[in-house]
């Protein structure tokens, strides 16, 4: 299956399901290239960027699961870089 590179943007409110968010991200850790979190204390939110290299259906499933969490918003942005078959290193 063709692999895609995407960034999943996540905004988590302080009262959100943060523990569940971290559990879900851990379940997809084999696809995650990197993760950056920024606490925005003035607004009471955390802004998280997750870079992922996975088949499009996996990216969509992850973003959808995150979006169903209480007080968590997520959106995936896909790159236009041509994909390679999953597991193909070269």
Reported as a single tens digit per residue, the pLDDT across 31-75 is: 999 999 999 999 999 999 999 999 999 999 999 999 999 999 999
Q: Domain ranges for the chain, please list them.
A: 3-78
89 pLDDT higher than 90? no
Q: Angle CA(13)–CA(32)–CA(88) in degrees, nearest 5? A: 160
Tell me the CATH number of domain 3-78, given options 3.40.50.1100, 3.30.70.1150, 3.60.150.10, 1.10.287.130: 3.30.70.1150
Which pTM was predicted? 0.85
Q: How would residue 82 be classed by pLDDT, with cut points 50, 70 and 90?
A: confident
CA distance 37 to 55: 24
């Amino acid at each position: 299956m063709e692999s895609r590179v995407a960034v999943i943007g996540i905004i988590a409110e302080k009262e959100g399901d943060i523990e569940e968010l971290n559990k879900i991200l851990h379940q997809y850790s084999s696809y995650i290239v990197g993760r950056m979190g920024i606490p925005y204390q003035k607004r009471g939110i955390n802004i998280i960027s997750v870079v992922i290299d996975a088949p499009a259906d996996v990216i969509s499933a992850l973003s959808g699961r995150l979006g169903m969490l209480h007080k968590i918003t997520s959106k995936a942005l896909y790159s236009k870089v041509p994909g390679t078959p999953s597991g193909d290193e070269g």
